[in-house]
Structure 1
Amino acid sequence: MGNSMACFSPAHIPKKLSTNLSRKPSKRSPNSSPFFGSSASTRRTKSSPKKTSQTLADDLMLQQQAIEAVLLFQNHQKNNGSQPFNRSTSVVFPAPGPKKNQAFTKSSSSRQPLSSETLFQPLELVDKQDVKIDGLETNHFVLVHGGGFGAWCWYKTMTLLEESGFKVDAVDLTGSGIHSFDTNSITSLAQYVKPLTEILENLEEGKKVILVGHDFGGTCISYAMELFPSKIAKAIFISAAMLTSGQSTLNLFAQQTGSNDLMRQAQIFLYANGKDQPPTAIGLGKKFTEDLLFNQSPAKDVALASVSMRPIPFAPVTEKLSLSDKNYGSVRRFFIVTQEDHAISVPLQEAMLESNPPEQFYRLKGSDHAPFFSRPQALHRILVEISQVPPNLS
C-alpha cells in the first residue's frame, strides 16, 4: 500500500473518530497483507478466465525474482552494501524556472525564501568520483519509507549512496516491513515513528543526519524535525506529505480523492475493532496497485512490493501536527516532485510547495510514485546534490 493516505475518501470514514482507541488484537498475522496475494501478476496484462502456460511461467518467474530481491537486500545489509545493482542511466534536471503566474506563499519557516533564480538551479551530473564526502555537514542519510512500504524499498538507494561513501540507515517504522507489531494496534503517530525517534535519540552528541521521507514518511520526518531540530541538517521530502502546522495527513490527501476514481476504487479500510468503530488500518486492492503506484517501475520491483507491503495504521494519519518556526522551521527542507505520479498528483505536490515552500525543489521526470524503483539513479543524483549544499550560515 504505497499511498493509502492519498486514497482516503471521507465518505467511507465513520463520523466518530478518535486517535486514542482501545483496540482488540487482529486475527490477521502481523506480517500479512489483506490486499496482496502470494503471487504477482504479469505487468500490464488483463486477467483471463484461463491462464496460459506462459503466463503461469511468468508468474513463477516474478515470484522467484521477488524472493531473490528480498534475499539480496538482506545480504546487502550484512555486507555493507557490497552487492551491485542495475542503475538507470538517465539524468533529470529540475525545471529552469517557475510556471507562469505561479505565486508561492511565505514559508512557515523563520528563514527567508530564496529567489526564483536560486530556487531552480540546474541539477549537475554527479559521478561517483565527483562526490566529496569530506567537509560535509553530515554524510549520514536516514531513509524513511512511505505508508505500506518498509526499509526494503530503499535497497537500490542504499547501495548507490553507500558506494558513494555515505553512511545510510533505512528504518522500518512500527508495524512496517519486518517489524513484528500488529498494524491494527497502532494508536498514535508517536508510536508509529518510534523506530525513527530512537535513532535520533541515540545519535552521537554533535552529529547530524539528512532525513529523507517518502509519502507518509513526510509526516514522520516532520514530527521528528519538531522534536530533534538540532540533530537534522536537512530534510528531503520525496512526493511526501509536507504538512503545515495544524494539518493532518488525512486532511491533506483527502483534497484529491474527488478527482481520482482509481484511488477511490483502490482503498480498503480495515476494521479490527468492528464496523461500528473507526478503521484501524488501510490497504490497497492488489488489482489497482501497479497502475496507482508503480506505473513506471520494473516488474521485478513490483513483484518485490507485492510480497512485502503491509497496511498502514489509520490513527496516525488522522493526527494534526503541531509545528513551530523555532524547531521544525529551523530545519532546511527540500522537495522532489515525481512527475508521473498517479498516487499523489503533481497538482497536489505543487499545492504543498505553495502552502509551505521549501528552500529548493526538483522535478523528477519519468518517475512514478516509487522513484527508488523507477528512477533510482536520477533520485540518487538529487540526494547527493542536496547533501553538497553548504550549511546556511545566516
Structure 2
Amino acid sequence: MATYVLVHGAGHGGWCYRKVTRLLEAEGHTVYAPTLAGLGDRSHLVSPDVDLDTHITDVANLLFYEDLSDVVLVGHSYGGTVIQGAADRVGDRVGKLVFLDAPEGRSQVEAFPALLKERENGRVVDGVELVFFPSEDLVRFFGVTDPEDIAWMLPRLTPHPWKSLEQPLVLNNRPALEAIPQYRIVSATSLALGIHNEDLMAKARAEGRFWEIDSGHDLMISAPEAVAGLLTEIASA
C-alpha cells in the first residue's frame, strides 16, 4: 500500500481531494491532504507573510513530523510548485512526484502569465493582496460544470495570497530533485490551451509517465475515478 500526500492549488484546500481521498483509502492506501496556510480551513491564518516558502514549509513539515517516507507527493496546479520546493528540502522522504495539471516555471506567474489578468480583479484585505475571489465564473474557469459540484465548491473556495504566486521558486538540491521519478497528469482543457511546457510533456511521454484526462482543470473534482486510478498505477510502477 502507498502513502500519498495530495497538495491543492490556488484558492482551494485539502477538501478538494475528498473524492480522490475516499477512493484511495478504500483501496487501503494512506492519504494526507493538507491545507496550505491562509486557505480553506486555515484561511484565518492568512497574513502579509504568507508566501510560497510558507506553503513549501507546510508540506515539508508534514512529511517530517508525520515521519513519512517513500511518499507519492502530488501537486495540483500551483501545488506543483509547492511539491517541487518540498521535495528539494526533504527529498529523502519522497518516492515519486506527480504533477496534476501543474504548469511549471520559476514562479506561477512565469508559468501562467494569464495570472496577471487575475491580479487586476484582486484586492487588498487587511494588508494582504488577494486574488481568486470565489464566484461561479471562477468555478467554471476551474472546469467544473456539475451543479452539485459547483454548489459544494463555491462556499469552500477562498481568496489566494498573491505573494505566493509571484515569488520565484528557489531550488538548492536540483540534482537530487531531478533524480526523483516524475509523472504528469494533465487535463484535456489545459493541454489544448498550451499552458504546459512542451519539452517536459515530451520527456514524460517518452518515459511512459504522461497521461491526459478528458476533463477541466479541477480534474480531482470532475474526474476523481480517473485521477485515483492513475495515482494507484503510478504508486505500483
Letter of the 2:166 counterpart:
T
Q: Does 1:318 align with 2:178?
A: no
Change (3 A) 1:302 1:228: same
Give, in whole Å, the separation in 2 of the partners of 1:337 and 1:300.
23
Tell me the SS of whatever aligns to 2:189.
coil
CA contact (8 A) 1:148 1:309 kept: yes
Q: Once the two structures are superposed, what CA deviation does each residue of 1:299-357 show, in whole Å capped at 9, x if it has no partner?
A: 1111111100111111121221223432321211111110034xx85411253625985
Q: How many residues align?
A: 234
Distance apart, 1:217 and its partner CA: 0.4
Give, in whole Å, the separation in 2 of the partners of 1:213 and 1:273.
29
What is the correspondence of 1:20-35 to structure 2 with a 5 Å cutoff?
none
CA contact (8 A) 1:338 1:346 kept: no
Tell me the SS of whatever aligns to 1:212.
strand
Structure with the bigger percentage of helix? 2
For normalisation by structure 2, the TM-score amounts to 0.87
Change (3 A) 1:185 1:157: same
Match of 1:215 among 72, 77, 96: 77
Match of 1:248 among 87, 107, 113: 107
Match of 1:271 among 111, 124, 145: 124
Tell me the SS of whatever aligns to 2:232.
helix
Q: Does 1:375 align with 2:223?
A: yes
Give the match for residue 152 of structure 1: 15
Tell me the SS of whatever aligns to 1:271.
strand
Match of 1:347 among 194, 213, 228: 194
CA contact (8 A) 2:134 2:157 kept: no
CA contact (8 A) 1:183 1:281 kept: no
What is the correspondence of 1:159-174 to structure 2 with a 5 Å cutoff?
159-174=22-37
Q: Does 1:331 align with 2:193?
A: no
Give the match for residue 227 of structure 1: 89
Tell me the SS of whatever aligns to 1:373.
helix
Change (3 A) 1:143 1:188: same
What is the correspondence of 1:81-230 to structure 2 with a 5 Å cutoff?
133=1, 139-204=2-67, 207-230=69-92
Identity of aligned residues (%): 24
Q: Once the two structures are superposed, what CA deviation does each residue of 1:65-123 show, in whole Å capped at 9, x if it has no partner?
A: xxxxxxxxxxxxxxxxxxxxxxxxxxxxxxxxxxxxxxxxxxxxxxxxxxxxxxxxxxx
Distance apart, 1:372 and its partner CA: 1.5
Give the match for residue 362 of structure 1: 211
Larger Rg: 1
What is the correspondence of 1:19-58 to structure 2 with a 5 Å cutoff?
none
Tell me the SS of whatever aligns to 2:196.
helix
Higher relative contact order (CA 8 A, sep 6+): 1
CA contact (8 A) 2:74 2:99 kept: yes
Give, in whole Å, the separation in 1 of the partners of 2:182 and 2:142.
24
Long gaps (5+) in structure 1: 1-132, 134-138, 258-262, 390-394
Tell me the SS of whatever aligns to 2:42.
coil
Give, in whole Å, the separation in 1 of the partners of 2:165 and 2:119.
18
Distance apart, 1:285 and its partner CA: 5.8
Give, in whole Å, the separation in 1 of the partners of 2:118 and 2:169.
28
Give the match for residue 100 of structure 2: 238
Structure with the bigger percentage of strand? 2
CA contact (8 A) 2:134 2:158 kept: no
RMSD, aligned α-carbons: 2.6
Q: Structure 1: which 4+ aligned runs deviate by more than 6 Å?
A: none
Range that drifts further, 185-194 or 145-154: 185-194
Letter of the 2:70 counterpart:
K
Long gaps (5+) in structure 2: none
